[in-house]
Amino acid sequence: MPNNLLRQIPKVDSILESAGWVSLVSACPESIAKDVLREHLDSLRLDIREGRMDSVPSIDEIVTAVGIRAAALIEPGLKRVINATGVIIHTNLGRSLLARRAVNAIMRVAMGYSNLEYDIEKGARGSRYDHCRSVLRRLTGAEDALVVNNNAGAVFLTLNTLAEGKEVIISRGELIEIGGSFRIPDVMKKSGAVLREVGTTNRTYIEDFERAIGDNTGLIMKAHTSNYRIRGFTHDVSSEELVALGKRYNIPTYYDTGSGLFYNFEGLGVSGEPLIPDELKKGFDVISFSGDKLLGAPQAGIVIGEKDCLEAMKKNPMTRALRPDKFTLAGLEATLLLCLDPDSAAGIPTIRMILEEKAAVTKRAQRIASQLRKKCPHAGASVIDVNSEVGGGSFPDMVIPSAGVALEPRTMTLAALEAKLRRLPLPVIARIEKERLILDIRTVLAEDEGDLVAAVAGAFQNDR
Ligand SMILES: *Cc1c(COP(=O)(O)O)cnc(C)c1O
């Protein structure tokens, strides 16, 4: 019996001559398609020998199966998803979305030559570090600015340049860990600086810092406790106190502010986020922050501050290892230029999403829910109140009243629906809460609403 079936498997030559195969290899490299075909036929033979099959598929069936597998192989692994979590700066979903201007700027340098390291005035070699410098100086009032790959790199470079082999004094309450294993003590160790933690987890005073100062003190550091708050019986040292202490003992001061916020946008709520220009005015020698958190730019680490410190950082050989590429610089510069005007800054996607009025989100949720009720009555769609979050370790206390579409599926479990949505060609990332699947519409782009409806309808297809 198996031998008989084995002989019935279509010959490779006839498969390669079929119309289905010809159309398959017009959309997929032939070598990949042939590899997949070979694997497919091997497993078919094995299934037959081990008695798992009692008939042989047709050429068309084989080509279809090979086509699906081959298409999956050439599909990019990094793809667009719909973020229906309501977490705006979602670290797992790509953090900040770029403004159109930033995208256009990236496209221009991506598809054409640029003056990345060329001084057009002088007709000579220039520096990539000059590109965002002037707009950063204008925005923050800093003497100098330097862009690196991300803020973790900026922290490392600052510590390594200013405090290698020396002590860095920091409050015990600020020894933060950011997701993805960024921990201040670990970065400090790798930078060659020596951690000198002072105070206690909840209470630290300026006297604690002063007592720790010695011959080998290299830097006084402050880190924004961006993803948590210590409440209750607490005492913090203010920026002003730290800066005054540094000046008194002639020790540089550094503030890792995390997010990069330039304005206290109206409607942003009680702000616990430091404003970059304000902090710099208080007198820190160096401040660093991320490009892709509240600033809404590409991933980058931005260092601003006093000229001598920044010059020393630029000369550090590690800077080369942390240098940003031209896409980052183009997208960052375009975003920073938008930030020169608070109104256009408010239109940068990250800030725009935070500021979108609840009523507007509700309207969008109602529109989506009503389409879903028509297209997939089994989804049990309704509009509910939810709370969005800023995410990305910014405004840890702040919840933003928002509107969501709740799904109460009648034909499958919530876990099955959640997984189905996640595995669609255009994945939808949602959360389960109180026996419902919640799609928070605040983080769903207006232009993605149609795709969201189609995606949910897709999850309910063949499901009566
Ligand atoms: C996010 C954050 C970092 C790390 O920044 P990345 O840009 O993610 O590398 C460092 N310090 C603070 C305080 C942060 O909030």
Q: pLDDT (tens digit, 0 to 9) for every residue of the chain, 464 residues total?
A: 678 889 999 999 999 999 999 999 999 999 999 999 999 999 999 999 999 988 899 999 999 999 999 998 998 999 999 999 999 999 999 999 999 999 999 999 999 999 999 999 999 999 999 999 999 999 999 999 999 999 999 999 999 999 999 999 999 989 877 766 788 999 999 999 999 999 987 889 999 999 999 999 999 999 998 666 777 778 889 999 999 999 999 999 999 999 899 998 876 664 678 999 999 999 999 999 999 999 999 999 999 999 999 999 999 999 999 999 999 999 999 999 999 999 999 999 999 999 999 999 999 999 999 999 999 999 999 999 999 999 877 777 678 999 999 999 999 999 999 999 999 989 999 999 989 999 999 999 999 999 999 999 999 886 54
Q: Which atom, in ligand 1's list, is nearest to the CA of 393? A: 15
What does DSSP assign to residue 279? H
Q: Which is the closest atom of ligand 1 to the Cα of 225? A: 13
Q: Is the dihedral of CA 203, 195, 275, 270 positive or negative?
A: negative
Nearest-CA residue for ligand 1 atom 2 is 258
Can you name the residues that pair with 144 across neighbouring β-strands? Answer: 305
Q: Report how far ligand 1's centroid is from the alpha carbon of 290 (Å).
A: 6
Q: Are 387 and 88 spatial neighbours (Cβ–Cβ below 8 Å)? A: no
Domain boundaries, the chain: 2-74, 82-91+353-460, 99-347
Nearest CA to ligand 1 atom 7: 151
All residues at 6 or more sequence positions from 414 whose CB lies less than 8 Å from its CB, including other chains: 432, 435, 436, 437
The two three-digit tokens of residue 70, written as one number: 């081959």
Q: Parallel, antiparallel, or unpaired: how do β-strands 253-258 and 286-290 relate? A: parallel
Residues 148, 150, 156: CA angle, nearest 5 degrees: 80
- Cβ 169 vs Cβ 217: under 8 Å: yes
Quote the tokens at residue 343.
Answer: 């109104």
Given the CA of residue 154, which atom of ligand 1 is nearest to it? Answer: 9
Cα 375 to chain centroid, rounded = 33
At position 242, the amino acid (one-letter code) is L
Q: Which helix (H) or strand (E) holds 239?
A: helix 239-249
What residues have CB less than 8 Å from 3, skipping those under 6 apart? Answer: none
* Residues in Cβ contact with 291 at an 8 Å cutoff, skipping those fewer than 6 apart: 147, 150, 151, 260, 297, 298, 299, 300, 301, 302, 328, 332, 335
Amino acid at 222: K
Give the model's pLDDT for residue 309: 97
Q: Is the CB of 290 under 6 A from ligand 1?
A: yes
* pTM (2 d.p.): 0.91
Distances 120 to 116, 132, 247 between C-alpha atoms, Å: 10, 16, 40
CA-based nearest residue to 401, from 454, 360, 448, 350: 360
pLDDT (0 to 100) of residue 270: 47
Q: Which helix (H) or strand (E) holds 456?
A: helix 449-460
82-91+353-460 in CATH: which number?
3.90.1150.180
Sign of CA dihedral 454, 69, 93, 439: positive
Q: Which CATH class is domain 99-347?
A: alpha beta
The residue to mutate among 176, 182, 294, having the most atoms of ligand 1 within 8 angstroms of its beta carbon, is 182
Helix or strand run (H / E) with residue 12: helix 12-17
Q: Are the C-beta atoms of 364 and 449 separated by less than 8 Å?
A: yes
Question: Which atom of ligand 1 is closest in space to residue 180's alpha carbon?
Answer: 8
Neighbours of 75 (CB within 10 A): 9
Specify whether the CB–CB gap between 146 and 323 falls below 8 A: no
Q: How many CB atoms lie within 10 A of CB 51?
A: 10
Q: CA neighbours within 13 Å on the CB side: how many for 364?
A: 24
Token pair, residue 396, equals: 């840890």
Q: Is the CB of 298 under 6 A from ligand 1?
A: no
Q: Quick check: CB of 149 below 6 Å from ligand 1?
A: no
Q: How far is CA 114 from the centre of its chain?
A: 26
Token reading at 334: 């375009």
CA of 456 to the centre of ligand 1 (A): 35
Cβ–ligand 1 contact at 223 (below 6 Å): yes
Burial class (CB in 10 A: 0-12, 13-18, 19+), 349: middle
What's the full length of the chain, in residues?
464
Residue nearest to atom 5 of ligand 1 (CA): 151
176 CA distance to ligand 1 middle (Å): 10
Kindly tell me the burial class for residue 367, based on how many C-beta atoms sit within 10 Å of its own C-beta (0-12, 13-18, 19 or more). Answer: middle
Q: How far are the Cα atoms of 116, 138, 348, 462 from residue 324, in angstroms, in the given order?
A: 11, 21, 21, 48
Residue nearest atom 12 in ligand 1 by C-alpha distance: 258
* Cβ contact 302:147 at 8 Å: yes
Q: Using DSSP bridges, classify how beta strands 381-391 and 87-89 pair: parallel, antiparallel or unpaired.
A: parallel
Spatial distance between the Cα atoms of 460 and 458, rounded to a whole number of angstroms:
5
How many angstroms separate the CA atoms of 131 and 117, rounded? Answer: 9
Calpha distance 444→97 (Å, rounded): 12
Report residue 182 as tokens: 């960024």
Cα–Cα distance measured from residue 454 to residue 302, given in angstroms and rounded to the nearest whole number: 40
With residue 407 as reference, give the H or E element that holds it. strand 399-407
